[in-house]
């Protein structure tokens, strides 16, 4: 009987120690938080966190006070047509990103490195302590207003080009520039690139890409983001950014424009002003995270766009875990 009791106690402590060591091992793995941008939205996003946490409700209240938009209604009830308007979408996606971040932080998990895709870069700056939560909402609301204004002035289009490397797409874009404004907007994965610009040259570039074996997919967007067609917003956004206090990052942050880190607040301000019309170097940014030996990737915000891209970018033998935290269920899976 004594032997059985001693064996049971030994087994109990073996399991406890094993579990502790596994958790400790995970804690030692380098973690990156990745924040999505436009295109990840869905009606209902963030609702369960809003129901569960007072701090999330306070965050939405802050976003609504700053933007004067009923963000909780748009996020939870839509309609999708209103939610996807840039002026509404930018503070809405940011509210959900920061809600997910706040819940993770409440559980005591912090990242080693942050990154965000286009709009998501503002959430990454908030996560790394560069800007406050309130100033994050002020920045994205202003950005959304300016981008919407320029999109109304200048009709634009964006197409995803699947199946060609960046050099081939850049060459196609260069050949098509004589037709009008066209540029690379996003280098999302090795052979997944988004082009942007005026509708006719974008269409012609897509046809040329298709003739080289690529697949061209028109995207449902209201403007030619990351192109000269919204250049009219850049100086005004730059002035607004200058009015906001920026801090040195508490956590290293990779920026879209450079696919690299930056510590100096003034240089970060310059990068964020240029980001509006510059290509998003997401593929290079994820390669940089591999160089930094990141082992845990967490998409913090709605949808699964960034984790989908990661699975295309990371080599099959790269040792890592990938998580989405956008619901209570996914939060529980991440914290296990």
Instruction: Quickly state the pLDDT bin for 5 (edges 50, 70, 90).
Output: very low
Please provide the average confidence, as pLDDT, over all residues in the chain: 93
Res 320 pLDDT > 90: yes
3-state secondary structure of 189: strand
Catalytic, 148? Answer no
- Catalytic residue, from 40, 118, 278, 285: name it: 118
As assigned by CATH, the class of the 31-152+227-335 domain is alpha beta
Q: Name which of 215, 175, 219 is nearest 196 in CA terms.
A: 219
Least confident piece of the model among 10-19, 91-100, 208-217, 299-308: 10-19
Parse the chain into domains and list their residue ranges. 31-152+227-335, 157-218
Q: Which helix (H) or strand (E) holds 215?
A: strand 215-218
Paired with 35 in beta bridges are 116
pLDDT given for residue 253 in this prediction: 98
H helix runs in the chain, sequence order = 2-28, 47-52, 54-67, 71-77, 80-83, 86-106, 120-127, 133-153, 166-176, 199-211, 234-242, 265-275, 282-291, 305-313, 328-335
Res 179 pLDDT > 80: yes
Q: What value does the mean pLDDT take over residues 282-290? A: 98
The CATH number of domain 157-218, selected from 1.10.10.10, 3.30.160.40, 3.30.572.10, 3.30.70.250: 3.30.70.250
pLDDT given for residue 191 in this prediction: 98
pLDDT single digits (tens) 137-169: 999 999 999 999 999 999 999 999 999 999 999
pLDDT given for residue 222 in this prediction: 86
**% residues pLDDT > 90 (the chain):** 90
Res 177 pLDDT > 70: yes
pLDDT single digits (tens) 225-247: 999 999 999 999 999 999 999 99
pLDDT given for residue 28 in this prediction: 76
- Catalytic residue, from 126, 206, 226, 278: name it: 226
Catalytic, 222? Answer no
Give dist(CA 96, CA 100) in Å, integer: 6
What single DSSP character describes residue 321? E
pLDDT single digits (tens) 24-45: 455 679 999 999 999 999 999 9
Instruction: Quickly state the pLDDT bin for 12 (edges 50, 70, 90).
Output: very low
pLDDT given for residue 3 in this prediction: 44
């Amino acid at each position: 009987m004594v032997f059985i009791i001693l064996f049971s106690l030994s087994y109990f402590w073996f399991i406890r120690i094993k579990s502790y060591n596994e958790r400790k091992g995970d804690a030692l793995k380098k973690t990156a938080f990745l924040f999505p941008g436009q295109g990840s939205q869905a009606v209902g996003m963030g609702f369960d966190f809003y129901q569960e946490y007072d701090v999330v409700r306070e965050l939405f209240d802050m976003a609504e006070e700053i933007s004067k938009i009923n963000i909780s209604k748009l996020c939870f009830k839509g309609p999708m047509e209103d939610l996807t308007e840039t002026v509404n979408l930018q503070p809405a996606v940011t509210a959900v990103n920061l809600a997910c971040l706040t819940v993770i932080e409440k559980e005591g998990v912090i990242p080693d490195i942050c990154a965000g895709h286009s709009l998501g870069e503002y959430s990454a700056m908030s996560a790394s302590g560069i800007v406050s939560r309130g100033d994050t909402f002020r920045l994205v609301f202003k950005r959304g207003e300016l981008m919407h204004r320029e999109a109304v002035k200048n009709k634009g289009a964006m197409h995803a080009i699947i199946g060609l490397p960046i050099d081939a797409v850049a060459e196609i874009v260069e050949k098509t520039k004589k037709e009008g404004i066209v540029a690379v907007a996003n280098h999302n994965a090795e052979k997944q690139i988004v082009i942007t610009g005026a509708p006719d040259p974008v269409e012609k570039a897509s046809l040329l890409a298709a003739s080289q074996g690529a697949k061209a997919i028109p995207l449902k967007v209201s403007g030619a983001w990351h192109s000269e067609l919204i250049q009219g917003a850049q100086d005004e956004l730059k002035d607004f950014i200058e009015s906001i206090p920026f801090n040195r990052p508490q956590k290293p942050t990779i920026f879209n424009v450079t696919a690299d880190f930056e510590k100096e607040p003034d240089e970060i301000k310059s990068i964020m002003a240029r980001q509006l019309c510059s290509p998003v170097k997401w593929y290079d940014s994820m390669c940089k995270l591999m160089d930094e030996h990141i082992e845990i990737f967490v998409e913090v915000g709605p949808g699964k766009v960034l984790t989908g891209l990661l699975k295309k970018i990371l080599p099959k033998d790269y040792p890592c875990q990938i998580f989405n935290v956008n619901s209570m269920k996914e939060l529980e899976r991440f914290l296990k």
